[in-house]
Amino acid sequence: MRISLRYLGAALTTAVLVLGTGCATSDSAREPGSRAPGFPLTLRNCGQAVTIDAPPRRAVSLNQGSTEILLSLGLADRMVGTATWTDPVRENLAAANDTVPRLADNKPSFEVVLDTEPDFVSASFGGTLGPGGVADRAQFAGLGVPTYLSPTDCDGKTDESVNADGARTEPLRIDTVYREIRDLAAIFDVRDRGEQLVTELQGRFAAATGAVRAEGVSLAYWFADTATPYMAGCCGASGIITNAVGARNIFDDTTDEWPQVSWESLLDRDPRALVLADLSRRKLAGDALDSKIAFLESDPVAQRLTAVRERRYIVVNGADLNPSIRTIDGVEKVAAAMKRWGWAR
């Protein structure tokens, strides 16, 4: 395992600076070795103070959601590795993504990450950047490597960070995704790009939902597993999508993000449409779209669902159901189906 000398003896500082619009702003080029205005920069992230001495030049992103934000901010040239992919990268980011090494399709080892000599590590889930994941944040901090964990995996949860299958004490809001974008843009000293990206996403969100109010339409979100399927609860990314179109999630009475349920309970609640995640991974039965549909239309219980009998399927990517910029893609796809079926006003 190689550890760069710059890691040794380094520690995060504790002075807290206000992260706001009055701090460092620009994307302009600077003289090599010059100090960027507003740095060191310290912000609160998932219960921790994180200090960035200078805009990162060798970043590693450990989840697809975080990777796609960095790529959308035009930071491919400052990334030395990505990992933990659930789907193909968003099409508009493919060319930039091709320039960044993929360390692993799933979780890489701590040693593999350190071999890239990172000066910053980001992740979307505490299950990746935490106990049982690639490494605990304290392990990176001990080597002088600052880390950032998406606030979508911390805000409104009983623990400061758990993985995405945990329970939420309050619904996730799309503004938390926008905050993550602004935080990362500030860390990399590209605030203007961050505001441009947020504005673009806000415009897409408004355009998709402006004419859609699908009151009375019940939905269920099936992520994976045919035996005891993972169906979305009330308050994660699926909640943002459901609320955006004015529909109702039939499992909105559970705060677990992805509870496992029985097909009988699904039939009892009988959603009018099913949102189906087409996963590129092949870990569980029912990951791929074709296997989901084949099961629905052959299982003696599932085939009795109204949504199955009427073939009311809304297809999304797995990444669309994670809290990220892809949540906007999920909103657009569900809203388009509502309009196509005449369920919007």
Max CA-CA distance within the chain? 68
Query: What is residue 159's predicted lDDT score, i.e. its pLDDT?
Result: 55
Q: How many domains does the chain have?
A: 2
Of the three residues 155, 180, 203, the one that is the final residue of a domain is: 203
pLDDT at 232: 96
pLDDT tens sequence across 197-240: 999 999 999 999 887 888 889 999 999 999 999 999 999 999 99
Residue with tokens 């943002």: 240
- Residues 62 and 197 both lie in one domain: yes
- Given a contact cutoff of 8 angstroms between Cβ atoms, the answer to whether 320 and 327 are in contact is yes
pLDDT at res. 158: 62
Q: 96 and 227: one domain?
A: no
Q: Are 12 and 127 in contact (CB under 8 A)?
A: no
Same domain, 168 and 23: yes
**What is the number of other CB atoms lying within 10 angstroms of the CB of residue 237?**
26
Q: Residue 66 has which token pair?
A: 């975080």
In this structure, what CATH number is given to the domain that contains residue 241?
3.40.50.1980
Which residues share a beta bridge with 277?
316
Contact 13, 40 (CB under 8 A): yes
pLDDT for res 45: 96
Task: Residue 318: give the domain boundaries.
Answer: 213-340
Residues 6+ apart with CB under 8 A from 23: 17, 37, 38, 41, 186, 191
284-338 confidence digits (pLDDT tens): 778 899 999 999 999 999 999 999 999 999 999 999 999 999 999 999 999 999 9
Residues 104 and 192 in one domain: yes
- Report if residue 208 sits inside a domain: no
Query: In this structure, is residue 90 part of a structural domain?
Result: yes
* SS3 state of residue 165: coil
- Does residue 44 form part of some domain? yes
Say whether both 231 and 198 belong to one domain. no
Task: Give yes or no for a contact between 317 and 87, defined as CB atoms under 8 angstroms apart.
Answer: yes
Give a yes or no: residue 257 inside a domain.
yes
Phi, psi of 22, rounded to the nearest 5 degrees: -85, 0
Question: Between 326-340 and 191-209, two packed helices, what is the crossing angle to 10 degrees?
Answer: 20
Q: What are the structure tokens assigned to 273, written together?
A: 């449409």
Instruction: For residues 264 and 135, state if they share a domain.
Output: no
- The answer for residues whose C-beta is within 8 angstroms of residue 98's C-beta and 6 or more apart is none
pLDDT below 50 — which residues of the chain? 1-29, 160-164
